[in-house]
Amino acid sequence: MLAGCDTVVMNPSGDIASQQADLIVSSTVLMLLIIVPVIVLTLVFAWRYRETNTEATYDPEWDHSTKLELVIWGAPLLIIIALGALTWISTHKLDPWRPLQRIDAQRPVDPKTKPLVVQVVALDWKWLFVYPEQGIATVNELAAPVDRPIQFRITSSTVMNSFYVPALAGQIYAMPGMETKLHAVINRAGVYDGFSANFSGDGFSHMRFKFHGLSDAGFARWVESHKASKDELTRAVYMTLEQPSAREPVRRYGRVDPKLFDAVLNRCVDAAKMCMNEMMAIDAAGGMGKQGLAYLERKPWRDTERPYVATALCTPDNPTGSPLLADSQSAVARR
C-alpha cells in the first residue's frame, strides 16, 4: 500500500512470470527460515542476559557446545543446499531460449501448436515489433493471443537495451549484432506495460510500449486492421526510423521487407555494407589474409574519412566488388 503501485511482478498474467514469482517467494521463505530465528534469538539473548538480570546463568569459562555448533552450521548448510537445488532446476526450466512446455500449471503445450514469432528491435528510443508470418510491423505496440506460445527474437540497432514486460516474463537484453530469444505466454486478456529495463541514453525514460493480450478473434482483427495500413516498412524507411527520437507515437505498417530483421541483425540494412554473416563466412573459410585487403571495396564510415567499412568483396565474377555478395554461401564459394 505504501508503494503506491500494483505488485505486477508478484501477480503477473503470464505463466513464465508466475513461475518466476513463485521462485522469488520460495527463495525468500527459505532465507527467512534463518533470518527470522536469528532476529528473534538476538532479542531474546539481549533481554535474557541483560546486566540487571541476576537470575541468568553466568559462565565466563564456557567456550564450546557441539549441539550448538551443529545447529549454527547445519541449518544454513541445508538452506544453501535447498537454494542451490532450486536455482539449478529453475535456471534450466525457465531458460528464455527454451520452448514452452506448458500453457499454465494445468495445461501442457499442444505439440501441434505453432508459436507466434515476433521480431523485436530496440531502437533509440522506441521499440519496433515485426510479425514475419503476418507481414506487419508496429512501433511501440505489441499484441499476442491469450494462451498461445510466443517466441521473441530480440536484437538492437545501436546500444544494449533490455526488453521487459513484467506481466509476461522476465527481462532479457537486446544487443546490436546479436540475437537473444524469449519464450513466453500470456494467460489473461488485458493491456500491460512494457519498457526498457536498461539505461540507454537521453530518451530512455520514454522507451515504453503497450502489450495487448487478446482473444484469437481479437488478435485476428488486430492483424487485419494493421494490414489495412498503406505504410510499408522498407529498408529506407527503417533507416529513417532508427534515428534517435523520443516519445514516439504508435506506428503501424501494413507491409514489411521480409529480410529486414536479418539485415538489422547482421548490421547491413544499408545495402552498401557487407553483412556480418558474410564476413564470418569468409573468416570461417580461413580468412583472406593481408593480401586479401586489396580485394575489398570500402567506403568511409558515416561519411568520415576514417575508419572504413567493407562494402563488397571483389572476385573474378564480380571484379568491381559491387553489388554486394548475395549471401554468405556465395562469399565462401567465390573465394
pLDDT of residue 165: 97
CA distance 83 to 28: 10
Let me know: does 175 contact 160? Beta carbons within 8 Å. Answer: yes
CA distance 303 to 307: 10
CA distance 27 to 80: 10
Q: Is the pLDDT of residue 282 over 60?
A: yes
CA distance 329 to 252: 34
Q: What is the pLDDT of residues 190-199, one digit of tens each?
A: 999 999 999 9
Q: Is the pLDDT of residue 259 over 70?
A: yes
Tell me the mean pLDDT in the region 249-269.
95
How far the first Cα of the chain sits from its last, in Å, is: 66
Domain with CATH 1.10.287 in the chain: 1-50+65-94
CB atoms within 10 A of CB 261: 23
CA distance 223 to 217: 10
Tell me the mean pLDDT in the region 287-295.
69
Stated pTM of the model = 0.82
pLDDT of residue 329: 41
CA distance 281 to 260: 20
The third-level CATH classification (topology) of the domain covering 107-265 is: Immunoglobulin-like (2.60.40)
Domain with CATH 2.60.40.420 in the chain: 107-265
**Which three cell numbers, joined as nine digits, stand for 150?**
510466443
pLDDT band at residue 325 under the 50/70/90 scheme: very low
CA distance 194 to 209: 5
Tell me the mean pLDDT in the region 241-257.
95
**Which three cell numbers, joined as nine digits, stand for 331?**
562469399
Q: DSSP labels for 45-61?
A: HHHHT-TT-TTS---TT
CB atoms within 10 A of CB 256: 23
The more confidently predicted of residues 146 and 299 is 146
Report cis status (omega within 30 of 0) of the bond before 323.
yes
pLDDT of residue 335: 40
pLDDT band at residue 330 under the 50/70/90 scheme: very low
CATH 1.10.287 is the classification of domain 1-50+65-94: yes
Beta bridge partners of 116: 150
Q: Is the pLDDT of residue 147 over 50?
A: yes
Report cis status (omega within 30 of 0) of the bond before 307.
yes
